[in-house]
Amino acid sequence: MSKPPFNELNLAAHVGDDPGHVNANLATVSGLLGLPRNRVVTMGAVHGARIGFVSEPGHVEGVDALISTSSGLVLTALGADCATIALSGPGVIGVVHCGWRGLAADVVGSTVAQMQSVSSGPLEAVVGPAICGKCYPVLPARILELVSAVSPRVSVAAVTSSRDGQPSIDIRAGICERLSELGVRMHVVGGCTVEDEALFSFRRDSVTGRQGMVIAFGAADGQE
């Protein structure tokens, strides 16, 4: 078990926690979900749109999405304010890490397109907790960057106002609109990472653990 502030099953190896503890936490979570630890795939996300198409367990650095058609693999994504998304369709599973940069880079659209190219049926998504628009004021330049990159529908959904009246981004609303545009049915789980003390939040705590989104073949859906 990790020591504070990682003592709630932190799954991130890059936030200063002991790697042995992170590994043990991952084994604990796998065990709780009834999934094999030795089939887990993790990723080192970089707020981009590169996708790792994986057929073996292990770690993939520099990608913000994982896709697999290999039965038995367990795909994981981590986030603490950024959203995590699990996707599934006939014969394919995927996970995505997506903050505002990922939304602008359309990591969601790229992942859905790649999954659709190898799947015969409709995709479904589970969208995990994220920082909400009320808690996420940003500089106007960031708003302009996002608006210039995404569709009008997505920008209308994602651009909002913070609690103190500043321009802000609702990452999850943008993701849900993008998934809707793409015809992906979705389920939204969890609330705002900043407001809900039970969730990890980088903005609130700086040094912290990360939420984990896990999906595997055979599971009914992505599980948080």
Q: In the complex, which residues of this chain contact Zn ion (CB under 5 A)? A: 132, 134-135, 192, 194-195
Query: Closest separation between CB of residue 204 and Zn ion, Å?
Result: 10
State which residue, 145 or 195, has the beta carbon closest to Zn ion.
Answer: 195
Q: How far is the CB of 171 from Zn ion (least distance, A)?
A: 11
Give whichever of 82 and 93 is closer to Zn ion, judged by the CB atom.
82
Q: How far is the CB of 63 from Zn ion (least distance, A)?
A: 28
**Residue at 140: amino acid letter:** P
Q: What's the min distance (Å) between Cβ of 192 and Zn ion?
A: 3
Radius of gyration of the chain (CA): 17
> Using CA atoms, how far apart are residues 221 and 128, in angstroms rounded to an integer?
12
For tokens 């004021």, the residue is 137
Which structure tokens are listed for 42?
Answer: 């993790």
Q: How far apart are CA 89 and CA 198, in angstroms?
A: 30
- Shortest Å, Cβ 208 to Zn ion: 16
CB 202 within 8 Å of CB 80: yes
Question: Based on CB atoms, which residue is closest to Zn ion, 175 or 184?
Answer: 175
CA quadruple 216, 132, 110, 142: dihedral sign: negative
Choice between 2 and 208, CB closer to Zn ion: 208
* Smallest separation, CB 196 to Zn ion (Å): 8
Quick one: 60 or 192, whose CB is closer to Zn ion?
Answer: 192
Q: How many CA atoms lie within 13 A of 42 on its CB side?
A: 18
165: left (phi over 0), alpha (psi -120 to 50) or beta: left
CB closer to Zn ion out of 75 and 135: 135
- Residues forming beta bridges with residue 151, ordered by sequence position: none
